Amino acid sequence: MLRSCCLLLLWLLSQVGLGQKAVPYGHNPAAGHYATVRGVKLYYETYGAGAPLLLLHGNGGSSQDFEKNIPYFAKHYRVLALDSRAHGKSLDAGDSLSFEMMADDCAALLTHLRLDSAYVLGWSDGGITALVMALRHPQKVKRLAATGANLWPDSTALMPELWQQMKRGHQEGKDQTFVDAKRKNDWKVFLLDWNEPHVPLSALARIKAPAFIIAGDRDVIRPEHTVAIYQSLPRAWLWIIPNSGHATLHEHTDEFNRKVDSFFRARVVLPPAR
């Protein structure tokens, strides 16, 4: 009898689960909005309530990349999941793209939403944008977490396999003329990481916001480069995640969410400036 009741309960729970539709993060009309800032129509989705948290994805990605993270953070924050310009639904007809442009977009979006500042979580290119935003718009960044970020584009920052792959991609595309709008945009997005960023380690000393620097122990960013970023920041914590590649927020979702949340919410004395 007990076994039958348990089986019935499990079946009922499964039916409830089947009746729930997955949230189409990155393509959710119920949460999606557009804001025209700095000449670009930026797409973003909002979830939850509380202190604002800006999520910034990586190269070639979109806000959908945070589908495993948004449900957790939406319990405590007003999540703003942004499609960076020239990514996802944020179309950009311009010929150029830079991390400075994207960082300025983020600051302008917060101003558009009448938000004086936000917590910022960035992955890969999003992590770079978070750091550049903290440099260019320090008043807009409460705290930042950056996973898999680099400060310049060469083999001293990137692992050899990725750098060789990028060199091949550049060699194959540099003499092509792209007529198709999508391919032209894809090439512009590729060139972003080929040409940039160019942030000297010394510049990080100007960042006042507390920073959580994260990478996988098998990341595509050289571990010594990640450590150098951490060491150059006045107020910083470092987390190298064991048994993880570049997609730390996907490969170790639960632990990643908890630790980033703890960093944002912690009421602790900050470490002294180094």
Amino acid 270: pLDDT:
59
Amino acid 178: pLDDT:
80
Domain regions of the chain by residue span: 23-265
From CA 198, how far away is CA 269, in angstroms rounded?
32
Amino acid 16: pLDDT:
43
> pTM here?
0.90
| Burial degree of 220 (CB within 10 A; 0-12, 13-18, 19+) | buried
Q: Which two tokens stand for residue 64?
A: 């959908």
Distance set, CA 120 to CA 24, 127, 164, 211 (Å): 22, 9, 31, 10
Angle at 160 between CA 185 and CA 58, to 5 degrees: 35
Give the helix/strand (H/E) hosting 123. Answer: strand 118-123
Closest by alpha carbon to 260, among 148, 149, 145, 147? 145
pLDDT in tens, the chain (274 residues): 444 344 334 444 444 444 567 999 999 999 999 999 999 999 999 999 999 999 999 999 999 999 999 999 999 999 999 999 999 999 998 989 999 999 999 999 999 999 999 999 999 999 999 999 999 999 999 999 999 999 999 999 999 999 999 999 999 988 888 888 999 999 999 999 999 999 999 999 999 999 999 999 999 999 999 999 999 999 999 999 999 999 999 999 999 999 999 999 987 555 555 5
Half-sphere exposure of 74 (CA within 13 A, CB side): 15
Amino acid 272: pLDDT:
53
189: amino acid identity, one letter:
V
Amino acid 177: pLDDT:
83
From CA 21, how far away is CA 157, in angstroms rounded?
41
Q: Is 160 left (phi over 0), alpha (psi -120 to 50) or beta?
A: alpha
Q: Which residue has the tokens 């980033």?
A: 260
The architecture CATH gives domain 23-265 = 3-Layer(aba) Sandwich (3.40)
Encode pLDDT of 155-192 as tens digits: 999 999 999 999 999 999 888 888 889 999 999 999 99
Helix segments in 97-156, DSSP class H: 99-112, 125-136
